[in-house]
Amino acid sequence: MSEQLNHTLTEPVSGLVYRLREGSRGAGKSPCLILLHGVGATEQGLMELARGIDPRFSVILARGPLALGPMQFAWFRVSFTANGPAIDAPQAERARTTLLAFIGQLPQAHAIDPERIWIAGLSQGGIMSASVALSAPQQLAGFGILSGRILPEVLPLVTPGKPLAALHAFVSHGRQDQVLGLHFAHHARQVLAGLNVRLQYREYEAGHRLEPAMVADFEQWLVARLADS
């Protein structure tokens, strides 16, 4: 199954390039996990994580639409200033709507269960996962923010209520993160608690990276969500 990840596909409506590992769904439609990379990276950096996900899941590695250089992509441009990260807000909004269009095509394209789609990502990928899930909770079962944050720019698009309360979220962060400080994780925890999103929150003695313990906890969380569904 994992050799499927060696090939790229292009979704025609959104235009996003992606890789797919099909799930072992048997006769039914498979649950799905969409994984998003960070800024200046590519979906290939998440292939090891994808290969370790429970085989019942179809796993999709999506590539950011913004090319920064050879095999360097992003979902939106960001500058790190003395006052914190400064984003290109219109680009972030275009990426959000592009991802929603992409997600909407998956059930028909790959026999994916529309009621069991999760999205998660590292750094900027986690940011986009939160933006998509919080603004359109009816399209997702849950999301993961791995060393990321929740953009204040997306909060006006969030409507509290039953769809949000049905979401499950996983938030993890390294205490020594020098790119996005731990306070961003604390802010995410506060925002999600205020929205009544069901949350699993974890901190690690790590920097801005996928710590093995973080990956293990995320995988355990995801399998538990499958048992809930």
Q: What backbone phi and psi angles, to 5 degrees, belong to 85?
A: -65, 135
In this predicted model, what pLDDT tens digit does every residue of 147-175 receive, in sequence order?
Answer: 999 999 999 999 889 999 999 999 999 99
Q: Give per-residue pLDDT as tens, 97-150.
A: 999 999 999 999 999 999 999 999 999 999 999 999 999 999 999 999 999 999
Q: Hey, which residues does 20 pair with through a beta bridge? A: 60
Residue 191 near residue 199, CB atoms below 8 Å: no
- Ordered by where they begin, the domains of the chain are 2-228 (3.40.50.1820)
- Residue 197 predicted with pLDDT over 80: yes
Identity (one letter) of the amino acid at 4?
Answer: Q
Q: Is the pLDDT of residue 27 over 80?
A: no
Average pLDDT over every residue of 196-216: 96
